[in-house]
Structure 1
Amino acid sequence: MPRFRHLLTMTLGAALLQSPLLHAEELPAAIRKIEEKGAKIIGSFDAPDGLRGYAAQYQNRGMALYLTPDGKHVLLGNLYDANGKDLSAEPLQKLVYAPMAKEVWAKMESSAWIADGSKDAPRVVYLFSDPNCQYCTLFWEQARPWVKSGKVQLRHIMVGIIREDSPGKSAALLASKDPSKALDDHEKAGKQSALKALPTIPQEVQDKLNANMALMEELELPATPAIFYLDAKGDLQQQQGAPSPDKLAKILGPK
């Protein structure tokens, strides 16, 4: 996931630095040339020794640009001080990655997910889930103490990628009269699950599956489960695959 891994340490709701979004007409000519190559200039920030910093976004990556004092040259890359501190990290996080994180979280909120746990749970965890995914079932089992205590609600964003009948099984869960119970029954049963794939998927349900798959592809997620959560600092984090026991508290919080 080369593009999406840059989203893993973003802070939701972080304020921009001192500069609002820049309009093209306000950009120096040298920076406009970079914009013409496909970069989206998000904002500017102070930099040392007469340089002017610009935060850009290119193919879901944050990119730091530095305009030289003469306004004729642009340096691309991270800038470090004498102590090895990355002076580009904070501006990029606040100007680029924080808004991207907020957007990703909002897209997951509006996706077709099945709730697992109390709607009043103080912590929400999203995961892209396939009914034939044994590691999704493993994470479901791992999360039981947190879900049953009311501390966490898992939101399963249903997709169908593992086997030929995966889309039909996801559709069956989404189309159920009680999707939460249907998912619970399926996961409890494990390999003995009686869940059957829908032979014909209603268009409304197919649209939901298509949107979930499009989101998974947009985020360049290679497999299920792909787990998303907010850490103690409010940073958006991702776990690919069922987590090791030592990571559960980071994802689900204290028991």
Structure 2
Amino acid sequence: MKKRIRIAAFALALTTVTLGCTANADQSTDKLKATLQERLGDITIKSIAKSPISGLYEINLGTQILYSDVKGDYVVLGDIVDAKTRKNLTEARLADTNRIDFSSLPLANALKVVHGDGSRKVAVFSDPNCPYCKQLETTLKSVNNVTVYTFLYPVLSPDSTAKSKSIWCSTDRAKAWSAWMLDHQAPTAAGTCNTAAIDSNLALGRAMNVTGTPTVFLVDGRRLPGAVPADRLIKEIAAAR
């Protein structure tokens, strides 16, 4: 179901009730979950809750939110937007339900780069061959007073794995990472050291539904997928404090 069906008609009917206030389950949700699980096949449904729109239910797949009527006869793909505030409620809800415990991240398995006094923190899952990851690295240079923990997450190709291992085995890992991502200087280390951390990163990312790179995690547990523009990244980092 990759085709996105716009739901402008639903957006016009939005009220000011938030998703967080209407997420209580009722007896309908168990039946709806069973019906949709059968009809949608191998898609795993993480949770079902009422949406802000009467009669429309939120179907949380972990990496995506769909909507359905109470009988499961119709499924809507698209975002709900508050017409008054123009806030994307679907995006906000997905970010909230996918929060992580930042303090539980195994930071020893990440590269550490400090900008300014490093008083703020972000974690990034990144593939060395991902062009959007390189774009994000350029953006991060403009963010002051932040410590960036980069989890090598080679998911694009065997070469991504080879480069990740070489960077991890470099004498100065952060320098090797920055040299490649910002200056196109390929890492030269053999990549034969203990690289178990990279395997752990892959397992961790899968467990946290990291399906694309880059994925940024803020200290309040929210995630920002993709190469976030500098102005938004700075704003989100400040808000997470």
- Fold-level similarity (TM above 0.5): yes
Tell me whether 1:56 sits opposite 2:59 in the alignment: yes
Matches within 5 A, 1:4-153: 16-21=20-25, 26-27=27-28, 31=32, 32-37=34-39, 39-45=45-51, 47-48=53-54, 52-58=55-61, 60-67=63-70, 74-77=73-76, 90=89, 92=90, 97-100=95-98, 102-103=99-100, 109-110=105-106, 112-117=109-114, 120-122=118-120, 124=122, 126-130=124-128, 136=133, 139-146=136-143, 149-150=144-145, 152-153=146-147
- 2:226 counterpart SS class: strand
Return the alpha-carbon distance in structure 1 between the equivalents of residues 137 and 112 of structure 2: 12
- 8 A contact 1:45–1:54 mirrored in 2: yes
Q: Deviations over 1:189-208 (max 9, x none)?
A: 9345563231x353624523
Q: Deviations over 1:168-213 (max 9, x none)?
A: 44224334565335545x3599345563231x35362452354367
Return the alpha-carbon distance in structure 2 between the equivalents of residues 117 and 20 of structure 1: 42
State, as a whole percentage, how many aligned pairs show the same letter: 14
Q: Relative contact order: is structure 1 or structure 2 higher (C-alpha 8 Å, sep ≥ 6)?
A: 1
Residue of 137, 143, 167 corresponding to 2:161 = 167
Q: Compute the RMSD of aligned alpha carbons.
A: 4.8
Computing the radius of gyration from Cα coordinates, the structure with the larger value is 1
The two structures have a TM-score, normalised by structure 1, of 0.54
Change (3 A) 1:36 1:94: farther
Residue 158 of structure 1 deviates from its aligned partner by 1.2
Tell me whether 1:156 sits opposite 2:155 in the alignment: no
Gaps of 5+ in 2: 4-17
Aligned residue pair count? 207
Return the alpha-carbon distance in structure 2 between the equivalents of residues 94 and 214 of structure 1: 21
Residue 124 of structure 1 deviates from its aligned partner by 2.1
Change (3 A) 1:183 1:212: farther
* Matched residue type, 2:97: P
Return the alpha-carbon distance in structure 2 between the equivalents of residues 122 and 109 of structure 1: 15
- 1:98 counterpart SS class: helix
What is the match of residue 208 of structure 1?
200
Tell me whether 1:228 sits opposite 2:216 in the alignment: yes
- 8 A contact 1:54–1:64 mirrored in 2: yes
Gaps of 5+ in 1: 4-13
Return the alpha-carbon distance in structure 2 between the equivalents of residues 44 and 60 of structure 1: 18
Residue 107 of structure 1 deviates from its aligned partner by 11
